[in-house]
Structure 1
Amino acid sequence: MSDSSGSLKTILFALGANTAIAAAKAAAAVVTGSGAMFAEAIHSTADAGNQILLLLGVSRSRKPPSADAPLGYGKEIYFWSFIVALMLFSVGGLVSINEGLHKLQNPEPLSHPFIAIGVLVFAMFAEGAALRTCLQQVNKTRGSQPLWRWFRESRQSELIVIFGEDLAALVGLSLALAAITATLITGDPMYDALGSCAIGVLLVLVAILVGREVKELLVGQGVEPRVRAAMLQFLEAQPEINELFNLLTLHMGDDVMVAIKAEMSDPGSAVGVARTINAVEARFREAFPEVTWLFFEPDIKD
């Protein structure tokens, strides 16, 4: 639950930051006529909408199990995270590219460019704070993993989405700032239009990367490789287990399902085997508290 609460805090912080940033960018886009600023306003508005969708996903993923969903609704967060990736691709990326192409065909000079630059600098500080909050939560679970490896192997889709959005936002702001500065120096609005196109391409690429990772979770992924290795090591060290035949895991949002098939060291009576398994299960749950469903099958062969 602590990880879930931390993720919720990260989403709420990002929502507040992006709402304020979107309003500032939209006002600056109207005043300056900047295509790059308009693209950034669309980007931040889409991000704020995405965070609302993530909040919906978190809420729905906490619904208790039912007859129709005996393993709960944890995967709801994966579905809504995938919708966010599609929104980032379409609303954020494609609309920004379209705006840039329109500005290339119909160039317009910038007015009050220093207003745009001031808003971008403010937005960079705000997005930096949002990314810092996200990284604080990421660092609680990634251990010594590099960020790229965490991104590929993490099972927390909401953090994957927020991290991707925040990182894209900072890079996008840098592109917008460079485009507007180049336009200011040269007087050529083409740089502003190219900035809008570059921001759109960036958002499309990030959306594809995020969508690919969330798709894997929707299809069904087990625990991270390092967690699976720790589970195997734990089970093989239990004196009650003679041979471990199989270990299957499945992530369901914040919850994990585990199925174990093993030969017990001292079969004994059926009651004795049941008590032995219960003891192993209790220790396993204590070592891996994220495990909600645990199924243990004693056998003599795989």
Structure 2
Amino acid sequence: MASGSKKVIYAALIGNTVIAISKFIAAVFTGSSAMLSEGVHSLVDTGNQVLMLHGLSRASKSPDKKHPFGYGMELYFWAFVVAILIFSLGSGISFYEGIKHIQHPEPIKDPFWNYAVLAVSLAFEGWAWTVAFREFKRGIGKAGFWRSIRRSKDPTIFTVLFEDTAAMMGLIVAFVGIFLAGLLEIPELDGAASVVIGVILASVAVILAIECKGLLIGEGASAEVTEGIREIVSENKNIISLNELLTMHLGPNDILVNVSLDFADSLTSVEVEAAISTFEKRIKAKYSDVTRVFIEAQSLSAHKRAIVQTHSGTDLPETGTPSDN
């Protein structure tokens, strides 16, 4: 998935760099507020792609003493920063430019530049969007679009997809605003288009922030993974009950699993250890994204007492045989 994520980001980076330069040139020649807002939008997107690449690089660092579980969640942090930048810079500047040109309207000079740049930009954005959507579609299977966004644990792909979608919507708004401003001789419409672009960017930023927040504070594995683990437990006759199952994504393809199991009393310590090893191997064989499994052997009654004592703040006597592999 990392290679796929980089492919999507590089495509967006190339497209947005070319587009940003062309938009700023058009804004200088025509004085269009909507085109200037679009230029800022593309510039922010270019910076965002650089941040996402930095996040991927940081997330790939090996675990160390300070971060024994690795740096995978850094990718979620940088994706959240991207959402903030889209809101503060992209949306903020678009609102400012739009309101300024509504209050002090100026006729657009030589709109041909705007139309040419918008056409080129739409072509590049369409190409980058197609790359991002194809990569995203590979991972959603038969699931619906919005459900897949909610379930996705790779913010790089859906962030670029949202950015490119917002960019294409912004281009359409800019074209309509510039066209109507010239046709109706109402230059305020150019500024109004810039405000609408700001609304689009703010909406996308809020959606991205919500999605990244869930990942950043620790989001569990999908229902498919948790139910699969429960099924593996139910198939093992040596396990009496699953006391507790906790999962968390440490990265798009890095799942931590913590399990408390009640093994049959007739088993010896050697047999319990063997059962734990078998259980762990089956989980990792079925779910390649599960990289760490921590298993605690504990009776159901002891587990319930531990929960009660933990919530009441009393000290808990050691029970069971914890195992981490």
Q: TM-score range by the shorter chain?
A: over 0.9
Structure 1's 130 and 279: CA in aligned 2 closer, same or farther, altered over 3 A?
Answer: same
Residue 109, structure 1, aligned to residue 135, structure 2: no
Partner-residue secondary structure (3-state), 1:139: helix
5+ residue gaps in structure 1? none
1:282 is matched with 281
**Given residue 256 of structure 1, which amino acid in structure 2 is its aligned partner?**
I
1:153 is matched with 151
User: Bigger relative contact order, structure 1 or 2, given CA contacts below 8 A and separation 6+?
Assistant: 1
Structure 1's 19 and 235: CA in aligned 2 closer, same or farther, altered over 3 A?
Answer: farther
Which deviations, in whole Å up to 9, do the C-alpha atoms of 1:215-265 show, x marking residues without a partner? Answer: 111111111233333333343334443322221111111311111112235
Q: Distance in 2 between matches of 1:211 and 1:7?
A: 19
Partner-residue secondary structure (3-state), 1:245: strand
1:297 is matched with 296
Which deviations, in whole Å up to 9, do the C-alpha atoms of 1:16-48 show, x marking residues without a partner? Answer: 111111111111111111111110000000000
Structure 1's 141 and 242: CA in aligned 2 closer, same or farther, altered over 3 A?
Answer: farther
Matching residue within 229, 234, 249 for 1:236 = 234
Which deviations, in whole Å up to 9, do the C-alpha atoms of 1:70-129 show, x marking residues without a partner? Answer: 111111111111111110001100110000011011111111212211211211121111
> TM-score, with normalisation over the residues of structure 1?
0.95
CA RMSD of aligned residues (A): 1.5
- How far did residue 207 of structure 1 move? 0.4
Q: How many residues align?
A: 300
2:81 is matched with 83
Which structure has the bigger radius of gyration?
Answer: 2
- How far did residue 160 of structure 1 move? 2.5
> TM-score, with normalisation over the residues of structure 2?
0.89
Q: Distance in 1 between matches of 2:56 and 2:266?
A: 43
CA contact (8 A) 1:245 1:261 kept: yes
1:261 is matched with 260
CA contact (8 A) 1:175 1:199 kept: yes
1:270 is matched with 269
5+ residue gaps in structure 2? 304-325
- How far did residue 205 of structure 1 move? 1.1
Residue 190, structure 1, aligned to residue 192, structure 2: no
Partner-residue secondary structure (3-state), 2:136: helix
Partner-residue secondary structure (3-state), 2:72: coil
Structure 1's 141 and 233: CA in aligned 2 closer, same or farther, altered over 3 A?
Answer: farther
**Given residue 50 of structure 2, which amino acid in structure 1 is its aligned partner?**
I
Structure 1's 72 and 43: CA in aligned 2 closer, same or farther, altered over 3 A?
Answer: same
2:128 is matched with 130
Matching residue within 43, 50, 53 for 2:51 = 53
- Paired residues for 1:22-33 under 5 Å: 22-33=20-31
Q: Distance in 1 between matches of 2:4 and 2:267?
A: 46
Which deviations, in whole Å up to 9, do the C-alpha atoms of 1:171-192 show, x marking residues without a partner? Answer: 1111111111111211211111
